[in-house]
Amino acid sequence: MKRESPIFRKYLRMLVISMGGLAFVVGMVHMLLVAETQRKAVAELLNAETRTASGQIQNFMDNTVGSLKWIDDLDEPGTPPDYDAIRDAGYRLLRRAPSVVGLSFFDSRGCERLSISRILPDTRSTCSDVPSAGPRAEILAHARAQGIAFSSVSFPDGSEPHLLLAIASRGQNTGGLVAEINLKVIHDSVAAIRVGHSGIGFVVDASGRLIAHPDQSLVLRQSKVPATFVVGTDSGGLNFATDFEGRRVATASRGIEGPTWRVIVEQPTSEALAPVYAALWTTGALVLAAVLISLFAGLVVAGRLAQPLSQLRDGAARIEKGDLSTQLNIATGDEIEEVADGFNRMARALADSRGHLEAKVADRTAALVATTQKVQQQAGKLTELNAALELRLQDARRRKDDAERANIAKTRFLAVASHDLRQPMHAVSLLVGLLGEKVSEPEMRNIVKKVQGSVDAMGELFNTLLDISKLDAGAIQPAIEEFAIAGLLDRVRRTFEPLAEDKGLLLSVATSTAIVQTDAALLERIIFNLVSNGIRYTHTGSVLLRCEPEDDRLRISVADTGIGIAEEYRERIFDEFFQIANSTQDRSNGLGLGLSIVKRCADLLGHDLSMQSSPSGSRFSIDVPCVGATDHVSGFTPGARAVSERLANAFVVIVDDDADSRFAAEATYRQWGCHVLAVESAHEVIFALEEHLRSPDLIVSDYQLASGHTGAQVIEAVRAYAENCMPAIIVTADVGRLQPNQLEGSCMVLQKPVGSERLKEVSEQLLACDTACDALVLRT
């Protein structure tokens, strides 16, 4: 058996820890208790010595005070002091009390009448002059207040410590006695203090200066007790310090009544704590012995426990190596022997089953080889399929990238193309309108009207393309605001009513007092597209726009009696360029972007958009947040119908850096009878206005001018020059660049191209507005 086996070490560790640890813990607790008990005993001993020593010092002081009182009694109240008697008694006291160096008697006036000394001649005074002064008189004054007073210790001649002790005589107006005491006499009492073998006692004053010490030299040198000593209150405890000789000592202290002195007793710690150390050594030796015994016992017991287990472990190892003939011979007579018997039976059973297992393993091995071959074949096929799949995935990613690039290119192309084409289209639109008004021949007017229709359609297509490109590019950020829906509904009605009448349709636009919270321009774009779409695909019947409040929303729905949307097209109805029944790609019906714009705007605003359709018509609905209602239905209504006259006489200022557009606008307004001033820049308009006595009635300006100015700045400059806040129209190819706060007063923004009819309509509306400088900004 290997005694170093894990089970042996485990048992050994357990036994040693349990037995030795118990002995150790018990020993430690015992050591602590013994140490604390001995420490208390030492503290009591030192404090007892301190009490004894302080008692001796106290007796000395009490005796001295008693003797002085005896003399002081000679000064009896009501009787003149007999100084001869007092002197006589004073010398008797000096004989009895060697510590008293001198005595002074003061009368009731505080005058020193008699002084007795061992060294100096005695003096007497009649005190005919001022009372005495000095330390003796001062200490007597204290004594009069409290009966007895002690001075602080002084060292006259730089040698022995002296103390002044004053006792007031009886009666309120009597004198007193002051004695000078040489404290060197205490030395004998202090030197007699012995604590143990080498412990000593000494006396200090309140500042820690030695008053008495066995080594008189320390006192005469006026030494102070080392800072490590505790000179405080009577705690009754034990302190440790380093004494004058550098010894580590245990100390205790006690105060003296009367003077603020303390008696300190010290004993070297090696001596004071000797019983503690002895007890600790004894306990420590016993603990060590107990640990060693537990170690020995652990070795024996662990060996006996681990031996059969090691046999079992060795037998198991032999079986592990294939030796199934292993049999153990353990006769411990306990459960371990039963385990060994079971082990032997198990070994025999294992040997028997081994043969069966080997046969089965051979069969299974053959089957496994066949299965493995099949799996390998299938794995080869799977690898080929994965390679093909990877190729397809790469192709799909490439196609997706191509499509995304193409979409981006398309969006960019549409944005640029539509913007750049707006300028000429605007001029063409105005010129065609002008042409229509100038031509009087019916056939020619018909041709011009068709041209006008084509130009309008083309302008609408450009607007649509620009909108979709902005939405795709993410250039539009919704500006959520609260506004009355009534104005929007009025514009829908006025915009599409002529178109519906041309097609013979009934356009019904509901009225509403609701105040909605959304982006006004985007909502208008949605409604306009839905209504436009309804009119476009409805040939007979009606187009109805309704507003239905639902909780905190307003459901705006556009229903038509058109051709409806077949089931198979409903999935694609919001796709770009998708049009139902327009296989000929007739662009007079639009590009198929209207519903795409509606869908993108609704998504951008987060409004729910729904669609219902049947062969008898379609219904599109959008839910808009509703925050309240106005108390009346209002809208933009033109003023009196003297508009045409106002326009005919109006003084219109046109500012446009595009010569064609400027020409077309100038010709158009002249055609309407206006007095027109058309210039290229802001500077020119001011110069030109100086030649006019009349103030402009209307300003029509492009927004982005070649001079770097904007149409808003032009309007502001003209209004400032004329000192009149006349209405203004900004015609721009890029509405998105305008910020509403850039425009002040009555001002309307039109997006190029603008047809002559639209321009005329807006001009008339603005001229009809009486409140020219109201904060009215209109966009279209």
Partner 1 sequence: MAASVTCLSRRRFCSLLLFGALPRSIASSPSGPSGPTARPILIALLSTGHNDSATYESLQTHLKDSLASIVPQLRITIREGGFSSELLVSQVDEIMTLNPSVLICMDLSAAIAASARRRNGNPPIVFLAHDDPLTYKLIQSYARPGNNLTGVTTFRCVDGKMIEILVDAFPNRRRIGYLFDSTAGDSRCNEQAEEAAARLRVDLVKIDVAAHGFIQEMGTRLKPLHLDAAIAPASAPIWQNRHAVVETLNDLSLPVIYESTLFLEEGGLMCYGPVRTDTIPQVAAYVRKILLGEPAGQIPVEQPTLFELAINLRAPHAAHFGISAATLRRADRILQ
For residue 158, the 8-state DSSP code is G
- With DSSP H G I counted as helix, E B as strand and the rest as coil, what are the percentages for the chain, rounded to 5? 55, 20, 30
For partner 1, the closer CB: 94 or 750: 94
For partner 1, the closer CB: 91 or 483: 91
Least Å distance, CB 151 to partner 1, is: 18
Least Å distance, CB 83 to partner 1, is: 12
Burial-class residue 712 by CB neighbours within 10 Å (0-12, 13-18, 19+). buried
For partner 1, the closer CB: 157 or 586: 157
For partner 1, the closer CB: 157 or 571: 157
- With contacts defined by CB under 8 A, name the span among 15-23, 217-225, 355-363, 551-559 that binds partner 1: 217-225
For partner 1, the closer CB: 203 or 465: 203
Both structure tokens of 165: 């002790």
**Intra-chain end-to-end CA distance of the chain, in Å:** 105
Least Å distance, CB 222 to partner 1, is: 6
- With contacts defined by CB under 8 A, name the span among 116-124, 261-269, 287-295, 367-375 that binds partner 1: 116-124
For partner 1, the closer CB: 172 or 217: 217
* Contact set for partner 1, span 122-141 (CB under 8 A): 122-123
Least Å distance, CB 215 to partner 1, is: 9
Binding residue (CB under 8 A) for partner 1 from 4, 129, 157, 723: 157
Tell me if 216 contacts partner 1 by CB under 8 A: yes
Which residues neighbour 367 within 8 Å (Cβ) at sequence distance 6 or greater?
Answer: none
Give the per-residue contact string, 63-102, with partner 1 (x = CB under 8 A; - = no): ---------------------x---x--xx--x--x--x-
Cα 676 to Cα 131, 435, 636, 759, 773, distances in angstroms: 125, 18, 27, 15, 22
- Angle CA(262)–CA(266)–CA(267) in degrees, nearest 5? 165
Least Å distance, CB 161 to partner 1, is: 11
For partner 1, the closer CB: 185 or 290: 185
Q: Are 283 and 27 in contact, with CB atoms under 8 Å apart?
A: yes
Give the per-residue contact string, 161-190, with partner 1 (x = CB under 8 A; - = no): ---------------------x-xx-----
Among 458, 526, 517, 516, CA closest to 492 = 526
Least Å distance, CB 182 to partner 1, is: 5
Least Å distance, CB 189 to partner 1, is: 15
Q: What are phi and psi of 457, to 5 degrees?
A: -60, -40
Query: What sections of 546-704 are H helices per DSSP?
Result: 594-605, 643-649, 659-671, 682-689
Least Å distance, CB 219 to partner 1, is: 8
Least Å distance, CB 217 to partner 1, is: 5
Among 592, 106, 670, CA closest to 434 = 670
Least Å distance, CB 140 to partner 1, is: 24
Tell me if 158 contacts partner 1 by CB under 8 A: yes
Q: What is the largest CA-CA distance in the chain?
A: 168
Both structure tokens of 86: 């007092």
Cα 95 to Cα 65, 162, 164, distances in angstroms: 15, 18, 18
Q: Helices 756-768 and 335-438 sit at what angle, rounded to 10 degrees? A: 90
Least Å distance, CB 252 to partner 1, is: 27
- With contacts defined by CB under 8 A, name the span among 12-20, 213-221, 611-619, 757-765 that binds partner 1: 213-221
Q: Are 771 and 739 in contact, with CB atoms under 8 Å apart?
A: no
Least Å distance, CB 90 to partner 1, is: 9
For partner 1, the closer CB: 64 or 668: 64
Taking the C-alpha atoms of residue 72 and residue 526, their distance in angstroms, rounded to an integer, is 123
With CB under 8 A, what is the number of residues at the site for partner 1? 27
Q: Are 504 and 540 in contact, with CB atoms under 8 Å apart?
A: yes
Least Å distance, CB 242 to partner 1, is: 18
Tell me if 192 contacts partner 1 by CB under 8 A: no
Binding residue (CB under 8 A) for partner 1 from 9, 10, 118, 438: 118
Both structure tokens of 638: 């033109």
Place of tokens 């209307």: 698
Taking the C-alpha atoms of residue 466 and residue 415, their distance in angstroms, rounded to an integer, is 5
Binding residue (CB under 8 A) for partner 1 from 13, 109, 221, 348: 221
For partner 1, the closer CB: 42 or 57: 57
Among 652, 663, 655, 719, CA closest to 683 = 655
Query: What sections of 439-584 are H helices per DSSP?
Result: 442-473, 485-503, 520-536
Tell me if 198 contacts partner 1 by CB under 8 A: no
Least Å distance, CB 29 to partner 1, is: 39
Binding residue (CB under 8 A) for partner 1 from 222, 325, 588, 616: 222
Both structure tokens of 502: 């041309």
Binding residue (CB under 8 A) for partner 1 from 25, 29, 41, 120: 120
Binding residue (CB under 8 A) for partner 1 from 78, 79, 80, 119: 119
Q: Are 716 and 655 in contact, with CB atoms under 8 Å apart?
A: no
For partner 1, the closer CB: 59 or 222: 222
Helix (H) or strand (E) holding 181: strand 176-182
Taking the C-alpha atoms of residue 706 and residue 48, their distance in angstroms, rounded to an integer, is 114
Helix (H) or strand (E) holding 277: helix 274-320
For partner 1, the closer CB: 160 or 314: 160
Tell me if 226 contacts partner 1 by CB under 8 A: no
**DSSP structure string for 646-676:** HHHH-EEEEE-SSHHHHHHHHHHHHHTT-EE
Binding residue (CB under 8 A) for partner 1 from 155, 483, 569, 663: 155
Residues of the shown chain interacting with partner 1 in the complex, contacts defined by CB under 8 A? 84, 88, 91-92, 95, 98, 101, 117-123, 155, 157-160, 182, 184-185, 216-217, 220-222
